[in-house]
Amino acid sequence: MDMFKPLEVSDEGGAKGPSESEKVRCLIIGSGPAGYTAAIYAARANLSPVLYTGMQPGGQLTTTTEVDNYPGYPEGVTGPVMMENLRKQAERFGTVVKQGSATSADLSKRPFRVTIDEEREVIADVLIIATGATAKYLGIDAEKRYAGMGVSACATCDGFFYKGKDVAVVGGGDTACEEASYLAGLCRKVYMIVRRDVFRASKAMQERVFSTSNIEILWKHEAVDLFGENGVEGALLLKNRGTDSEEEVKIAIDGFFLAIGHAPNSEIFKEYLETDKAGYIKTTPGTSKTAIPGVFAAGDIQDPHYRQAVTAAGSGCMAAIDAERFLSTAEQEKGK
């Protein structure tokens, strides 16, 4: 690995920009199922990948207790154990895994330049972006207190654990309606906590909710706290009664699901890559290719629909194969 320190110095005598640089063939940003799977495939293809873990090594799955829907684990597995297994597998084939978060990027030309922690510049022949998306939370202390103990941002991931129980879903958009409908097929009762007196969801999704008998909509309610001894046992809500009047309401629940959206971690790449309105990186359908040749996106950063570990892993595989083919073609043309 080519390591060097730039000699450029500012007038004040300090270094301008990153203090160190490294040159790599394949740079992977992000360490969720997409990033680690891309690393496994890239390493086996002799791309000598270097992976930077990001602020949350292992991604969102490290905040999940039990994972029962990932193929190959008949008895289930915890999120942290699963991600540690993926890391070890990537390292087994030669991936260099490093701690650090991408803080800026220059994708204007190839090789690409990505700055890590505002200190180290990585120069890469190909770049795989697997920075994921972050679920939006209400910001109440109880969400952290009951993380993995009744609070979830993924009904598809965790709904099974609440089979036959009562749960609540926060939100009024398409995602909330979809999550509530899914949970209604598993749970005894589903409360929908909606701040407004109308849904933001499409008419089709609204009708689906209205026609489901075990969904109760709590209009003009806002969740302000959760309570319970060894996990969530209920939620404290404020009901807006109009004319600046609010009423405290308590509901008994076992699970509390956030469905108020996700924020893709794409900010530093938006200047160069095409994104949708929400910030998800657009890729060529059926591939991981972005608008810039040599830059690929995998996992939740380019997937606003499924957001599952298994689909993220699949797209990580695609990104590594696309990257290998791109490099192979570029190197063949260079040698002509």
Catalytic residues: 154, 157-158
Query: How far is Cα 148 from Cα 2, in angstroms, rounded to an integer?
Result: 42
CB 131 within 8 A of CB 32: no
Closest CA to 182 of 120, 101, 255, 252: 255
Tell which residue, 284, 327, 265, 223, has the closest CA to residue 131: 265
Instruction: Specify the 3-state DSSP secondary structure of 290.
Output: coil
Cα 117 from chain centre: 20
Those residues whose C-beta lies under 8 Å from the C-beta of residue 236, and which sit 6 or more positions away, are 223, 224, 225, 226, 227, 248, 249, 250
CB atoms within 10 A of CB 261: 16
Residue 319, classed as helix, strand or coil, is helix
